[in-house]
């Protein structure tokens, strides 16, 4: 029985997407594939380790993520006596082979203008080293595979595409209590408030809908995610409308139960991003029966298929019309919900686990 380790600290990652990926994937692997022993290497104190997964206590380490990758994680891996190691998010431990790394997207390498922070050149160099030295790479979409090839010159046959899935808790159902202050009628966007998410265009489109139809003046845009530098501009745009109902409501960082409540009560998910490696909120929304309006860019068409409305992210008039139609046309909205539920059912963590196990077998030559 092969022993496959992964970085146990990912189970408590501050990045919700990385945390969810690790929890869902490795729990499914431990349950579905008995030919592997799954080992959480060095999980943080208090981490929620899924059932069926072995744990190895962390060795001493230098501080910071890079220090863990250079010292603590390699020491802990050697103690665990593994056959292979899976790094679930971009960075690999120094000197460990064989290793597979999951790279969810390379927006930081392809569009460094979106990440104007002092440490980003160092981070990009570290990520590049991890990609080119890995034995195999897993990524979430065919789009991301092509981007990794372009960014790092990695051979295409060293990269496996394994799509993600929505959390098992994300299902259609009755409305749930909303957080205090949340508008009753709203469009929803889920994800950090980042320049690539194109949220000012979305706010202007909703503003146009409210001006054209008085019946929609109470519809707001709810933004669920951490601000990454664009909130001030959005607040300025919203304050200029002069409407009694605020144009934008900032939900901030939320837990999974609150997210489910938002999905179940929103009129639609609006996702005008310019770049996504996968776009997990698209699947989450469709799994909850929510109509989706999204950009026809990057990986988004791979996820949504024909189950949502896909538009040029710069077509503000098109976004205005698509939003207005879903608000006005109940039959159209119902048809989108049905198609979204069918599309979401094609993705599951069982499928993700099976396809990931196939990568391990390829890595081990079995």
354 and 331 part of one domain: no
- What is the torsion angle, in degrees rounded to the nearest 10, for the CA atoms of residue 258, residue 263, residue 264 and residue 269? 160
Residues 159 and 201 in one domain: no
Do residues 105 and 86 lie in contact, with contact meaning Cβ atoms separated by under 8 Å? no
Domain count, the chain: 2
Say if residue 10 is in the same domain as residue 139: yes
Other beta carbons less than 10 A from residue 110's beta carbon: 14
pLDDT for the residue 46: 76
Local confidence band at 361 (pLDDT 50, 70, 90 cut-offs): very high
Token digits for 162? Answer: 């394994």
The larger pLDDT score, comparing residue 244 to residue 255, is at 255
Tokens of 3: 């022993």
Q: Domain check: are 110 and 145 in the same one?
A: yes
pLDDT of amino acid 17: 82
Regarding whether 229 and 102 lie in a shared domain, the answer is no
Is 12 in the same domain as 133? yes
* Bridge partners, residue 224, by sequence: 190
The verdict on 204 and 76 lying in the same domain is: no
Q: Is residue 250 part of a domain?
A: yes
pLDDT category at 119 given cuts 50, 70, 90 is low
Residues 200 and 288 in one domain: yes
pLDDT above 70: residue 118: no
- Cβ(329)–Cβ(307) below 8 Å: no
- Read off the pLDDT of residues 274-299 as tens digits, 9 standing for 90 and up: 999 999 999 999 999 999 999 999 99
Task: Quickly count: other Cβ atoms within 10 Å of residue 51's Cβ.
Answer: 7
Q: How far is CA 21 from CA 111, 151, 169, 203, 348, in A?
A: 24, 23, 14, 30, 12
The answer to the question of residue 142 being in a domain is: yes
| Domain contains 173 | no
Q: What is the CATH number of the domain that holds 282?
A: 3.40.50.2000
Residue 67 has a pLDDT of: 81
Looking at the structure, do residues 360 and 327 belong to the same domain, yes or no? no
339 φ/ψ sector (left φ>0, alpha ψ -120 to 50, else beta) = alpha
Do 165 and 24 form a contact (C-beta atoms < 8 A)?
A: yes
Q: How far apart are CA 223 and CA 189, in angstroms?
A: 5
Q: Does a structural domain hold residue 174?
A: no
Residues 340 and 353 in one domain: no
Same domain? 329 vs 196: yes
> Residue 208 domain-assigned?
yes
Per-residue pLDDT reduced to its tens digit, 26-82: 999 999 878 899 999 999 887 889 999 999 998 887 777 778 888 888 899 999 999
Strands of the 159-161 sheet, one edge to the other: 54-56, 36-41, 2-7, 84-87, 99-102, 136-139, 159-161
Which residue, among 62, 231, 194, 201, has the nearest Cα to 117 in the 3D structure? 194
Same-domain pairing of 152 and 190:
no
Q: Is the pLDDT of residue 116 over 80?
A: no
Nearest 5 degrees, angle CA 249-CA 270-CA 17? Answer: 85
The parent domain of residue 98 ranges over: 2-165+348-364
Under 8 Å between Cβ of 61 and 71: yes
């Amino acid at each position: 029985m092969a022993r496959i380790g992964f970085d146990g600290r990912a189970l408590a990652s501050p990045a919700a997407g990385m945390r969810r990926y690790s929890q869902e994937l490795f729990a499914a692997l431990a349950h579905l594939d008995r030919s592997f022993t799954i080992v959480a290497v060095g999980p943080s104190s208090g981490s929620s380790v899924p059932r069926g997964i072995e744990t190895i206590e962390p060795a001493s380490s230098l501080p910071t993520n890079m220090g863990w990758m250079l010292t603590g994680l390699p020491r802990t891996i050697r103690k665990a006596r593994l056959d292979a190691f899976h790094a679930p998010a971009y960075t690999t431990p120094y000197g460990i082979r064989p290793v597979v790394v999951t790279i969810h997207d390379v927006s930081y390498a392809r569009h460094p203008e979106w990440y104007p922070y002092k440490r980003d050149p160092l981070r990009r160099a570290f990520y590049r080293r991890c990609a080119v030295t890995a034995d195999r790479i897993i990524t979430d979409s065919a789009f991301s595979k092509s981007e990794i090839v372009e960014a790092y010159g990695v051979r295409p046959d060293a990269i496996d595409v394994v799509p993600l899935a929505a959390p098992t808790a994300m299902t259609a159902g009755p409305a749930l209590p909303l957080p205090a202050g949340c508008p009753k009628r709203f469009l929803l966007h889920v994800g950090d408030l980042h320049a690539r998410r194109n949220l000012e265009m979305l706010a202007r489109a909703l503003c146009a809908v409210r001006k054209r139809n008085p019946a929609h003046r109470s519809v707001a845009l709810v933004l669920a995610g951490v601000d990454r530098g664009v909130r001030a501009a959005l607040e300025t745009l919203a304050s200029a409308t002069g409407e009694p109902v605020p144009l934008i409501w900032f939900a901030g960082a939320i837990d999974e139960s609150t997210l489910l409540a938002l999905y179940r009560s929103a009129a639609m998910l609006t996702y005008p991003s310019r770049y996504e490696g996968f776009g997990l909120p698209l699947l989450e929304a469709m799994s909850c029966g929510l109509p989706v309006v999204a950009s026809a860019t990057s990986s988004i068409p791979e996820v949504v298929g024909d189950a949502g409305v896909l538009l040029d992210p710069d077509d503000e008039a098109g976004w205005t019309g698509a939003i207005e139609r879903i608000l006005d046309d109940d039959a159209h909205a119902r048809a989108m919900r049905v198609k979204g539920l069918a599309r979401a059912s094609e993705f599951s963590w069982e499928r993700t686990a099976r396809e990931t196990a196939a990568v391990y077998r390829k890595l081990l030559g079995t």
